[in-house]
Amino acid sequence: MEQSLSMSLRQKLAMTAQMQQAIRILQLSAQDLQALVETEYLENPALEMEEPAEAPDREAEEGRYSLEEIRELASYLGDEERGPRSAQEAAGRSFEAGSALRPSLEDELREQAAFVFPPGQDRQLAFFLIGSVDDCGYLQCSLADAARELRVEEAAAARVLAVLQGFEPSGVCARSLRECLVIQARQQGIYEGLTAAVLDKHLDQVAQGQWKEIAGAEKCTLAEVQLAVDMIRRLNPKPGASYGAGSPDYILPDAAVRKVNGEYQVFLNDGAMPRLHISSMYKDSRSLEPAAQEYLAQRMNSALWLLKSIEQRRHTLLKVIQEIVRRQTEAIEIGPAGLHPLLMREVAEAVGVHESTVSRAVANKYLETPRGIFALKKFFPAKLAAGQDGEELAAQQVREKMKQLIQGENPRKPLSDQQLTEQLARQGMKLSRRTVMKYREQLGYASSVKRKRY
């Protein structure tokens, strides 16, 4: 075996830690970036944080009255004492939006149980059953298991459950969908006649839209079956779904678009972002020991890269959003119906960055428009078809048109998927019937058979 050494020259892109950090920061939303800034500030002594100054509310300042003005107004109205006292109370009162959390379903049920059941075995049993209720409001344990766990008679557990099923929200603590709907129907006084028969025997057929089978079994008309089903559909199959254990999640838009002097302008939502800068205490470290100097140099270098990455993120995000707004002006003005097909590659070429950079820039980010808040990725609908004039059509445009057609149809003769396909084709939207069916289901509309009214 002969051994030899050889040299070769080739290019290779190595992802440094700084490049990885810049890519990660570009993908962060405004909320995540704020959390990162606060974490880096706590871990890096070379950084100083400057909290953003809150801009004064000009409208509130203009509409605020002094105590003297309130006193004069109260005196004019004939109550000299109420004015100053009310103003002083208001001045010392602080309201914080969203500070109170909505109680969870379990908290709500336990509160009602504590009011109904006195301390003792029944209350203990009630609390055990409540603890076995899932987020949708259904009981997930059997009465036999509950009785065995607490060493009581099963009849006692059944008696307590009957009381729990009368609690709010209506239909809670049911053991099946049918029982949940029956509880609500009884409480609303509609559990009778055909409605009761449908609930007891034909729920599976209701789900499949088999009105004729139900009418034949109950010897009634299709219109009567549909009326009973309409009443059942007003009931809530998930009574506990509206409760939550925590505060709701709010979307913080990363940018906003406003019309200024007839043109749309983009403003990044970084006013509430804490400002970082290099600490003046560590700019001159020559008087420190060599080990301390080396440590501070590393921290200083890390801080500089962080600040550079944040500024690069801001610059890239602003350019990308400006290009999106320029190309999707109609969507900004009228909403999703005005979206046009747009590829990230097109925005990347216009901005002068790689397509992957655009993808990272729009990830997990939202834009506030006059029509509402939308995810930036929503502004990139794929090309679906071409109209008669050659204009490209986006899926959202087709869905909007389908929605209009279905809402305007004759309920006694609803449009089939084939008829929808033909009507869309006459309006320049040539699609396959399979595609039309997929978009109809995405819009939440049933088939023409199930939409038909008798």
User: What is the reported pLDDT for 69?
Assistant: 53
Whether the predicted pLDDT of 326 surpasses 90: yes
Whether 432 has a pLDDT exceeding 70, the answer reads yes
Residues 368 and 399 placed together within one structural domain of the fold: no
What average pLDDT does the chain have? 81
State the pLDDT at residue 93.
37
How close are the terminal C-alpha atoms of the chain, in Å?
90
Domain shared by 405 and 359, yes or no: no
Q: Which residue, 329, 358, 379, sits at the end of a domain?
A: 379
For residue 402, the number of C-alpha atoms closer than 13 Å in the C-beta half-sphere is 29
State the average pLDDT over residues 177-186: 94
Tell me what the mean pLDDT of segment 401-405 comes to: 89
393 and 330 within one domain: no
Predicted confidence at residue 97, as pLDDT, reads 39
* Backbone CA torsion sign across 433, 437, 442, 444: positive
User: 443 CB contacts (<8 Å, ≥6 apart)?
Assistant: 399, 402, 403, 406
Q: Does a structural domain hold residue 2?
A: no
Does residue 435 lie in a domain region? yes
Which CATH number do you get for residue 196? Answer: 1.10.10.1330
**312 is a domain residue:** yes
pLDDT given for residue 102 in this prediction: 65
pLDDT score at 79: 44
Instruction: Report pLDDT for 40.
Output: 84
pLDDT at residue 11, as a whole number? 63
Q: Identify whether residues 260 and 370 lie together within a single domain.
A: yes
Same domain, 121 and 183: yes
Indicate whether 363 and 445 sit together in one domain: no
Residue 425 pLDDT > 90: no
User: Are residues 260 and 374 located together in one domain of the fold?
Assistant: yes
**Is 161 within the bounds of a domain?**
yes
Average pLDDT over residues 101-130: 90
How far apart are alpha carbons 353 and 349 in whole angstroms? 7
Establish whether the linkage from the previous residue to 56 is cis, with ω within 30° of 0. Answer: no
Which pLDDT score, from 0 to 100, does residue 184 have?
95
| Cβ atoms of 436 and 417 closer than 8 Å | yes
Indicate which CATH number applies to the domain containing 400.
1.10.10
Give Cα 204 to chain centroid, integer Å. 32
Q: State the total domains in the chain.
A: 3
Q: How confident is the model at residue 117, as a pLDDT? A: 92
Q: Which of 379, 397, 417 marks a domain boundary?
A: 379
Q: Are residues 354 and 397 in the same domain?
A: no
pLDDT over 80 (residue 91): no
Answer whether 377's CB lies under 8 Å from 363's CB.
yes
Contact 171, 183 (CB under 8 A): yes
* Domain-embedded: residue 136: yes
Percentage of residues in the chain with pLDDT exceeding 70?
A: 79
Q: What is the pLDDT of residues 200-257, one digit of tens each?
A: 999 998 888 888 899 999 999 989 998 999 999 999 999 998 886 555 567 788 899 9
Say which range, 148-162, 175-189, 298-312, has the weakest mean pLDDT. 298-312
Q: How far is CA 310 from CA 106, 277, 300, in A?
A: 43, 12, 15
pLDDT of residue 134: 93
| Whether residue 266 is found in the same domain as residue 369 | yes
Q: Give the pLDDT score at 115.
A: 93
Are 316 and 366 in a shared domain?
Answer: yes
Res 172: pLDDT: 95
Q: Whole domain around residue 261: which residue ranges?
A: 255-276+287-379
Within-domain flag for 321: yes
Tell me the H-state helices in 102-142.
Answer: 105-116, 121-131
* Predicted pLDDT at 224: 92
Is the pLDDT at 71 greater than 70, yes or no?
no
Give the confidence band of 58 by pLDDT, cuts at 50, 70, 90: very low
At residue 51, the pLDDT reads: 66
Does the residue 91 lie in any domain? Answer: no
pLDDT of residue 92: 40
Q: Per-residue pLDDT for 111 more than 90?
A: yes
Neighbour-count burial of 287, counting CB atoms closer than 10 A to its CB (0-12 exposed, 13-18 middle, 19+ buried): exposed
Give the lowest-confidence range in 75-84, 100-109, 130-139, 330-339: 75-84
User: Do 181 and 124 lie in a common domain?
Assistant: yes
Give the C-alpha separation, 126 to 117, whole Å.
8
Whether 446 maps to a domain, the answer reads yes
Determine the pLDDT at residue 385. 53
> How many angstroms from the chain centroid is the CA of residue 169?
24
Question: Residue 414 has which token pair?
Answer: 């609803």
User: Is 94 a residue whose pLDDT tops 70?
Assistant: no
pLDDT-derived band at 265, boundaries 50, 70, 90: very high
**Could you say which of 336, 352, 379 is where a domain stops?**
379
The helix/strand/coil state of 248 is: coil
Model pLDDT, residue 89: 42
Give the pLDDT confidence score for residue 392 in this predicted structure.
Answer: 55
The reply to whether 259 and 373 lie within a common domain is yes
279 or 393: which carries more pLDDT confidence? 279
